[in-house]
Amino acid sequence: MPMRDRSKLPLRPVAPVWAMMAGLALLSACKQPPASRIDADAAAAARGLSAMETVGCGACHEIPGLDWPKGRTAPSLVGFDDIGPIAGQLANTPANLAAFVRNAPAAKPGSLMPAMPLSESEARDVAAYLYRIDDD
């Protein structure tokens, strides 16, 4: 259970450290995220954040823009714009991400993340928000 195990470490890398490391990496490599990600619709992203608040994603994830709760059961989403494949397996596309946040076990069998009560459009909004996270 690699995801849960992280929460058992006594000292977890703290969000700002991650952000800083990501920032340093960017400075050195000048890597730009794919255009499709940052161009996500701002209104959709705002709806996505409020949907995440409503269904309580924060109970397990630390999510930039969500003050509380900041759960530690699942990976932090700080620096999400810089991650590779979703959950380590799925190609990092908006459609895949939307499907994953809505019903993770269906998108990736064996996932520890439960399905969330999000409509398809809400899931797209959530994905839009996640892609707009910019901690650099």
Partner 1 sequence: MKSETGFDHALYDLFPVREPRPEGEVEELNRIWAAPRGWGLMTVVNNNYIGFFYVAAAFLFFLLAGILALGMRIQLAAPLQEFLPQGTYNQFFTMHGTIMMFLFAVPAVEAIGILLLPQMLAARDLPFPRLSAYAFWAYLVGGLFFFASLFVGLAPDGGWFMYPPLTSITYSPGINTDFWLLGIGFIEISAIAGAVEIIVGVLRTRAPGMTLDRMPMFAWAMLVFAVMIVIAFPSVILGTLLLEIERAFNWPFFDPTRGGDPLLWQHLFWFFGHPEVYIIFLPAAGLMSMMVATVARTPLVGYRLNVLALVATGFISFGVWAHHMFATDMPRVSAGYFSAASMAVSLPAGIQVFCWIATLASGKIRWSTPALFVVGSIVLFTMGGLTGVMLGMVPFNWQVHDTYFIVAHLHYVLLGGMVFPMFAAFYYWNGMTSRNPLSERLGKWVFWLMFTGLNVTFLPMHLTGFMGMPRRVYTYLPDRGLDVLNLTSTVGAFILAAGIALFLIDLARNFRFTTEHDAGNIYGGGTLEWLPTGLYSTRSIPLVRSREPLWDDPRMCEDVAEGRYFLPNSATGLRETIITSPVNAEPQYLQLMPGPSPFPVAAAIFTAFFFLSLTIQAYSFAVFSGIVATLCVLRWLWETDRPIHITEAEIGGGITIPIAITGPTSHGWWALNTMMAVIGMIALMGLFSHLYLYGIHPEVWIAPPGLAQTAGIAGVLALAFLSALASRRVLAGHDAGTFPGQGPWLLTVLGAGLLAGALYWDVTGWQAAGLSPAASGQGATVFALLAFQGCLVAVAIIMAGYLGYRSGRGLLTPPANVTLDVVVRFIGFASLQGAVISLLPRIFPGG
Partner 2 sequence: MLEPLWGWPPPVLDPAGPYAEKVTVLAWALFAMGLLVTGVVIVALWVAIKGPPWIKSKLGGEKVVWIGGVAFPAVVLTILLVWGLTLTASLTQGITGKETRIRVTGEMWWFRVQYLGPNGEVILNDANEIHLPVGEPVVLELRSADVIHSFWVPHLSGKKDMIPGRKLFLRVQADKAGRYGGVCAEYCGGPHALMGFVAVAHERAAWEGWLAERHAAQAAAPAGPAMPGRRIFLESGCGACHRVAGTEANGLIGPDLTHVGSRLTLGAGILPNNHGTLMGWIGDSQSIKPGNRMPSYSMLPAEKLDAIADWLGRQK
**Total length of the chain:** 136
Q: Which of 70, 93, 94, 112 is close enough to bind partner 1 by CB under 8 A? A: 70
Is residue 68 near partner 1 by the rule CB under 8 A?
yes
Q: Compute how many residues bind partner 1; rule: CB under 8 A.
A: 5
Backbone angles phi, psi at 104, to 5 degrees: -60, -45
CA atoms within 13 A on the CB side of 19: 13
Q: Which of 20, 25, 90, 112 is close enough to bind partner 2 by CB under 8 A? A: 112
Is residue 12 near partner 1 by the rule CB under 8 A?
yes
Residues in CB range of 91: below 8 A, 6 or more apart:
85
Residue 88: contacted member of partner 2, partner 1, none (CB under 5 to 8 Å, by partner type): none
Contact status, residue 15 vs residue 77, Cβ threshold 8 Å: no
Is 16 or 114 the residue whose CB approaches partner 2 more closely?
114
Where does this chain touch partner 2 (CB under 8 A) — which range of 13-21, 92-100, 104-112, 126-134?
104-112
Residue in 93, 91, 92, 101 with CA at minimum distance from that of residue 122: 101
Is 14 or 24 the residue whose CB approaches partner 2 more closely?
14
Is residue 6 near partner 1 by the rule CB under 8 A?
no
Is residue 14 near partner 1 by the rule CB under 8 A?
yes
Is residue 26 near partner 2 by the rule CB under 8 A?
no
Is 33 or 65 the residue whose CB approaches partner 2 more closely?
65
Is residue 38 near partner 2 by the rule CB under 8 A?
no
